[in-house]
Amino acid sequence: MVKRVVGILTEAGEIRRLLEENVDREDLETDPSVVTVLLNETMPRITVPEDASIEEVATLVGREVGGAVEQLVGAFTLAFAMLAQVHDSGQTDVTSADVLQDLALRAEQIGSDGPDDVGP
């Protein structure tokens, strides 16, 4: 999940950079499909019984979707916290792209080594 979030943030940063170079660019794809793909990959498929009440549907959706939303929010929160820490420290030799790359590498390590500390 963290690597997907890093990808989205990296793509957004690249689009911002290109637009800063030339605001009138029309060749940039700003289609939200990358976010749609992320949501489609992370949100569970839910089967709702035909006779389910509104309360039962709400409980089912909350239970099934809650964990995925929690992971997604956690990954964005982690990325934000790492970016904010570098910003607040006043480091001028580290770019946001550097921070995101480091986060992606740490997430890759965790994926292959097990749960280690991913924090800054």
Tell me the pLDDT tens digit for each residue of 31-47: 667 778 878 888 888 89
> What is the phi/psi pair of residue 93, to 5°?
-95, 0
Q: What is the pLDDT of residue 120?
A: 47
pLDDT at 112: 52
42 touches 68 (CB < 8 A):
yes
Residue 114 has pLDDT above 50, yes or no: no
Q: What is the pLDDT of residue 1?
A: 82
Given a cut of 90, whether residue 18 has pLDDT beyond it is no
pLDDT for position 117: 45
Give the per-residue pLDDT at 33: 72
